[in-house]
């Protein structure tokens, strides 16, 4: 049979010209296609189409939105977690907020230089920083540099007319393992 799955059933078959004797064969085709398309369904499916459509696609677990809840640090070395880690760091270099228990710490080593440590154990991640500072002229900048397997540096600067200096600013970091 060519129509082995529900997605390839011919919607124009059977036609009005199909003989009554062939109808039972057409029913077998439809039943076979449904069985092959849903081999693990052994009971009634009670979810609505909206609930089914809201389910993530296979392999897209890292794109699930909502609240992540952990009772301990997720294991990054085994690559079982691929969610984002958000961290807020004060101008003094202490963490003021963290979205997960991802084992992130922060410290300030000198004016405008912060060391962010984590337990990823790999350099397969992206880190993006944003200054929390608002108001005033010029442009406060936070730059991620010196990325390593368990840490990276963030430098905060103030740039303005005739000025480019390291300054202590509060900032946020988003870490995205891949």
User: Tokens 């900048």 belong to which residue?
Assistant: 141
For residue 53, what are its two tokens? 């459509």
Q: What gap in Å lies between CA 93 and CA 121, rounded to an integer? A: 22
Answer for the pair 146, 153: CB distance below 8 angstroms, yes or no. yes
pLDDT in tens, 82-125: 578 889 999 999 999 887 656 789 999 999 999 999 888 888 88
Q: pTM (2 decimals)?
A: 0.53
pLDDT in tens, 49-91: 888 877 766 555 444 444 445 555 555 444 455 578 889 999 9
């Amino acid at each position: 049979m060519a129509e082995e799955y529900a997605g390839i059933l011919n919607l124009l078959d059977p036609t009005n010209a199909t003989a009554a004797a062939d109808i039972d064969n057409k029913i077998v085709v439809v039943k076979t296609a449904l069985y092959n398309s849903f081999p693990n369904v052994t009971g009634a499916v009670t979810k609505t189409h909206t609930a089914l459509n809201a389910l993530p696609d296979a392999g897209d677990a890292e794109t699930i939105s909502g609240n992540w809840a952990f009772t301990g640090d997720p294991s990054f070395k085994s690559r079982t977690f691929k969610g984002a880690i958000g961290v807020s760091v004060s101008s003094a270099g202490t963490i003021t907020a963290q979205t997960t228990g991802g084992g992130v710490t922060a410290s300030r080593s000198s004016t405008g230089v912060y060391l962010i440590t984590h337990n990823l154990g790999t350099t397969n991640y992206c880190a993006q920083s944003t200054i929390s500072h608002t108001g005033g002229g010029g442009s406060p900048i936070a730059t991620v540099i010196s990325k390593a397997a368990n840490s990276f540096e963030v430098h905060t600067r103030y740039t303005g007319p005739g000025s480019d200096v390291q300054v202590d600013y509060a900032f946020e970091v988003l870490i995205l393992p891949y």
